[in-house]
């Protein structure tokens, strides 16, 4: 038996800042900045407002823990839940293609809540990020992400609770035995399915907030002597065997501490499901080379891997008729029609797109189906091929092996800053966004986490 639980626990509990290669530290700061901008921008969203209202009804606004972009105080669990849901609300958060998940959304919010509990340093936060990312991604490898997701599980939620527990355990300086107990308790909270797609529900956002809060709870309980199930991952009724028909435990610990999976995390240029990114890249490639009149488009055919077709292409009638923003984030048809007509796709594109007769009409001409070459590349790469035919007989075609923002096409620091400011300025203002960005760049120093949170909080107060 591969002792996955103990090995991952020892790794997460023993990881130190001195163990991190320079490139891992720098990537962690960029990922933290990316998530921070998203969390801030999602504070005014209807789903965030609704969640906060419900948490107030539960009396969870009585603590001292802050959420970026929000001046209100919460209990640590509530803060983790709000920030976790916010981090995933725009569908703009970082991804790991091979693991088929978003590692930052449950991990960073759990860290931010725990760091305030013990006034952790920003170096502690970076170490905890790496511990959480590595554990979460590797647990996904062990459960076999394709087999797991095809059962209907939402990987960011089901594995995210373990990443959050590992990250918080790192902040709280848990021993390896305590970390194993945290994993054993987190096992009871591993949940989240794809049923949200039926009606475009906010449940997907809740999944991730719940994972962040549950991981925090599991680690805090472990710190206080609460025992969790042994062999949480590899046991007969552990995560791998119960949640997957074809687990691969050995893969979860292969290269542990030597191969840094956080470096394989990608950053999104578009606020939609990662499966739509390669088709969008292809459309923009075609548009940069050819002037296409949207009124003269006869058809748009999109090929991708079968799993991507299932998630963002079918049923076609549903994808051609999105009813809300969540629907938009999973509609290849709406995203491509919006790009073709407006020349862009950003967070503020969705509400106007839902009301546009021209975009609706073009969606009806878009078809999505499986492609053999894309299938062969999946999940190493989320490839896509797009073919546009016009009423005048022209055909334009482009194939994208992997979308922009993957490790091989990682945005520059300047490009990431542009995304951050675009998201943060509407909430924090010009000065507040600049202060937050600069403080994140200094996180590899021995600063209190309050130095980062205070900038976001003060800026939010100034903008109110």
Cβ neighbors of 66 (< 8 A, separation 6 or more) are 72, 73, 74, 79, 116, 453, 456, 457
Mean of the per-residue pLDDT values for the chain?
96
Copy the structure tokens of residue 137: 């991604």
What average pLDDT does this structure show over 231-247?
Answer: 98
Q: What percent of the chain has pLDDT over 70?
A: 98
pLDDT band at 464 (very low <50, low <70, confident <90, very high): low
What average pLDDT does this structure show over 28-45?
Answer: 97
The dihedral sign for the CA sequence 151, 155, 160, 162? positive
Do the Cβ atoms of 167 and 215 come closer than 8 Å?
A: yes
Q: What is the pLDDT of residue 178?
A: 98
Distance CA 251, CA 45 (A): 39
pLDDT tens profile 118-163: 999 999 999 999 999 999 999 999 999 999 999 999 999 999 999 9
Q: What is the pLDDT of residue 461?
A: 66
Residue 456, pLDDT above cutoff 60: yes
Q: What is the pLDDT of residue 454?
A: 78
Cβ neighbors of 94 (< 8 A, separation 6 or more) are 31, 34, 35, 102, 103, 104, 105, 265, 266, 267, 268
pLDDT band at 463 (very low <50, low <70, confident <90, very high): low
pLDDT band at 436 (very low <50, low <70, confident <90, very high): very high
Distance CA 208, CA 155 (A): 10
Q: What is the pLDDT of residue 250?
A: 97
Copy the structure tokens of residue 335: 């995203």
Q: What is the pLDDT of residue 2?
A: 83
Residue 451, pLDDT above cutoff 90: no
Q: Is the link from the previous residue into 346 a cis peptide, with omega within 30 of 0? A: no
Neighbours of 413 (CB within 10 A): 13
Q: Is the link from the previous residue into 114 a cis peptide, with omega within 30 of 0? A: no
Q: What is the pLDDT of residue 327?
A: 96
Do the Cβ atoms of 138 and 145 come closer than 8 Å?
A: no
Copy the structure tokens of residue 9: 């626990």
pLDDT tens profile 267-285: 999 999 999 999 999 999 9
Do the Cβ atoms of 55 and 80 come closer than 8 Å?
A: no
pLDDT tens profile 324-344: 999 999 999 999 999 999 999
């Amino acid at each position: 038996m591969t002792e996955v639980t103990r090995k991952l626990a020892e790794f997460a509990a023993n990881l130190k800042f001195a163990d991190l290669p320079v490139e891992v530290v720098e990537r962690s700061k960029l990922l933290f900045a990316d998530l921070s901008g998203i969390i801030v921008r999602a504070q005014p969203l209807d789903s965030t407002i609704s969640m906060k209202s419900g948490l107030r009804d539960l009396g969870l606004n009585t603590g001292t823990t802050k959420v970026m972009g929000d001046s209100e105080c919460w209990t640590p669990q509530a803060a983790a839940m709000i920030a976790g849901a916010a981090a995933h609300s725009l569908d703009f958060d970082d991804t790991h293609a091979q693991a088929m998940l978003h590692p930052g959304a449950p991990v960073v919010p759990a860290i931010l809540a725990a760091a305030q509990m013990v006034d952790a340093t920003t170096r502690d936060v970076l170490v905890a990020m790496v511990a959480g990312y590595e554990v979460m991604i590797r647990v996904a490898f062990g459960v076999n992400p394709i087999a797991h997701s095809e059962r209907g599980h939402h990987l960011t939620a089901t594995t995210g609770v373990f990443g959050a527990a590992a990250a918080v355990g790192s902040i709280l300086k848990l021993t390896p035995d305590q970390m194993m107990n945290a994993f054993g308790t987190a096992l009871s909270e591993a949940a989240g399915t794809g049923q949200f797609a039926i009606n475009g529900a906010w449940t997907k956002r809740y999944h991730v907030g719940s994972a962040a809060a549950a991981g925090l709870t599991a680690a805090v309980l472990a710190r206080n002597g609460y025992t969790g199930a042994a062999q949480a991952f590899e046991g007969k009724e552990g995560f791998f065997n119960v949640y997957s028909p074809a687990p691969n435990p050995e893969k979860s610990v292969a290269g542990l501490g030597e191969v840094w999976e956080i470096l394989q995390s990608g950053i999104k240029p578009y606020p939609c499901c990662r499966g739509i990114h390669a088709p969008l890249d292809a459309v923009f490639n075609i548009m940069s080379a050819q002037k296409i009149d949207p009124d003269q488009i006869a058809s748009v055919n999109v090929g991708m891997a079968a799993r991507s077709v299932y998630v963002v292409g079918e049923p076609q009638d549903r994808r051609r008729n999105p009813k809300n923003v969540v629907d938009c984030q999973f509609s290849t048809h709406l995203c491509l029609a919006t790009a073709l007509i407006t020349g862009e796709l950003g967070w503020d594109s969705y509400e106007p797109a839902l009301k546009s007769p021209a975009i609706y009409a073009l969606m009806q001409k878009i078809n999505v189906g499986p492609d053999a070459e894309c299938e062969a590349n999946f999940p190493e790469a989320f490839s896509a091929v797009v073919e546009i035919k016009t009423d005048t007989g022209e055909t334009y075609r482009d194939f994208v092996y992997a979308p922009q923002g993957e490790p091989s096409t990682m945005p520059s620091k300047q490009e990431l800053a542009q995304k951050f400011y675009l998201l943060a300025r509407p909430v924090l203002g010009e000065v507040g966004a600049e202060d937050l960005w600069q403080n994140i760049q200094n996180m590899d120093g021995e600063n209190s986490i309050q130095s980062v949170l205070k900038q976001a909080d003060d800026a939010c107060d100034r903008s109110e």
